[in-house]
Amino acid sequence: ETGVTQSPTHLIKTRGQQVTLRCSSQSGHNTVSWYQQALGQGPQFIFQYYREEENGRGNFPPRFSGLQFPNYSSELNVNALELDDSALYLCASRPRSGGADTQYFGPGTRLTVL
Amino acid sequence: GDSVTQMEGPVTLSEEAFLTINCTYTATGYPSLFWYVQYPGEGLQLLLKATKADDKGSNKGFEATYRKETTSFHLEKGSVQVSDSAVYFCALRGQGGSEKLVFGKGMKLTVNP
């Protein structure tokens, strides 16, 4: 039990639609990262938020965007969905006092794009 | 850029068998190295880590040693149990303060009684 929850568990969308995925972290976790895990692959870093601002981004296009809220929740938004966006999306958070190696992962949201 | 190459599965072992999962990396300087485990329906969990050369990480009977000379971080366990069935990921965090993790493709392990 990591204390990080994600919703929804599963989601089905069609190409061109927009989707919002949610992550809820433990109190005091002020850094959150999002990862995309395609089937049979390792997770790939999308971006990280610290104190409600993006402070690091992987090789993902601008249609992937995020928000972080003061209540330790966050969102991943994906616009203009493509078939290749089908994946497990993971969020990871860490406490204010923890080092970069103390990240806690949520169980993920499985997104299917038809 | 940084990358991780790990042994891919799936692998099936009998209970009490010896386990080795190979992992090599490419990165500048001295990255931190990790093994994560993903049980069915659960999020990634940190299994062990090592932050400098020759460090040995260990947890739950698993061990891995940071080998700078061979850029490797192989995972071993002397006697696996059915409860070790999961997907194992090798990962690194590059030097320089970034918290971005770079993962290998993962290896699915099934342990039969």
Residue range B12-29, pLDDT digits in tens: 999 999 999 999 999 988
Per CB-CB distance under 8 Å, the chain B contacts of A100 are 32, 93, 97-99
- Six token digits for residue B13: 């072992």
State whether residue B102 sits within 8 Å of chain A by CB: yes
- Say yes or no to pLDDT of B4 above 80: yes
Instruction: Tell me the CA distances in angstroms from A49 to A54, A66, B32, B113, one per residue in order.
Output: 4, 8, 21, 44
- Output the average pLDDT for chain A: 92
Residue of A48, A58, A105 lying closest to B43 (CB–CB): A105
Q: Give the pLDDT mean for A43-47.
A: 96
SS3 assignment, position B23:
strand
State whether residue B106 sits within 8 Å of chain A by CB: yes
Secondary-structure percent of chain B, ordered helix, strand, coil, rounded to 5: 5, 50, 45
Q: Give the pLDDT mean for A70-84.
A: 95
Q: Which string of b and e fits B5-15 if b means at least 16 CB within 10 Å?
A: ebbeeebebee
Do the strands A31-37 and A44-50 form a parallel or antiparallel pair, or are they unpaired?
A: antiparallel
State whether residue B4 sits within 8 Å of chain A by CB: yes
Per CB-CB distance under 8 Å, the chain A contacts of B51 are 101
- Say yes or no to pLDDT of A3 above 90: no
DSSP B16: T
- Six token digits for residue B75: 């995972």
Do residues A72 and A23 touch, judged by C-beta distance below 8 A? no
- Say yes or no to pLDDT of A98 above 80: no
- Output the average pLDDT for chain B: 93
Q: Give the pLDDT mean for A21-25.
A: 95
Q: Which residue of B has its CA nearest to A47?
A: B100
SS3 assignment, position B82:
helix
- Say yes or no to pLDDT of B110 above 70: yes
pLDDT given at position A30: 83
Cis status of the peptide bond prior to A43, with omega within 30 of 0: no
Contact B99 A103 (CB under 8 A): yes
pLDDT given at position A28: 80
